[in-house]
């Protein structure tokens, strides 16, 4: 059996650094960890998952359109509807999806997430 680890790396354009910091710290409530590099922010989610955001020139990062073709991730929250409203107030870009009962969005930098209930559900 194979298990997915608890670390993930993404590359984000330099000019989005302050917006991504606000998103991961204030909106998602992640803890920002000490980083060994100037071009890397580390965020720890509840449960110990660590996301590394590398900041690079725009030409070295995926575009928002490219992220739509890549891996989509899931954020589990206690109150998905309230969290959706918080995200929309922050100004995330909603991603169209055939099932209107599911909410997908792009974080600053283009990464795609789904908001899902903590108690399961597909």
What are the 10-residue block averages of pLDDT along the chain, 122 residues in total? 88 97 97 97 95 96 94 94 97 94 95 92 64
Q: Which of 4, 15, 99, 2 is nearest to 47 (CA)?
A: 4
Task: Please give the domain boundaries of the chain with CATH numbers for all domains.
Answer: 7-117 (3.10.180.10)
Is the full-model pTM beyond 0.85?
yes
The pLDDT assigned to 120 comes to: 73
pLDDT at residue 121 in the model = 65
Dihedral over Cα of 94, 46, 36, 7: its sign: negative
Residue 55 has a CB neighbour count (10 Å cut-off) of 20
User: What is the rounded CA–CA span in Å between residue 15 and residue 77?
Assistant: 29
What is the pLDDT, as a whole number, of residue 122?
64
């Amino acid at each position: 059996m194979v298990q997915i680890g608890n670390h993930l790396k993404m590359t984000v354009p330099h000019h989005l650094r302050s917006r991504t910091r606000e998103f991961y710290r204030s909106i998602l409530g992640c803890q920002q960890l000490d980083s060994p590099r100037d071009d890397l922010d580390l965020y720890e989610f509840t449960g110990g998952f660590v996301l590394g955001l590398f900041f690079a020139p725009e030409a070295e990062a995926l575009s928002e359109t490219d992220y739509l073709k890549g891996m989509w991730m899931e954020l589990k929250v206690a109150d998905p509807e309230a969290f959706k409203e918080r995200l929309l107030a922050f100004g995330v870009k909603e991603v169209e999806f055939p099932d209107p009962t599911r909410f997908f969005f792009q974080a600053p930098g283009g990464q795609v997430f789904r908001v899902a209930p903590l108690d399961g559900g597909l």
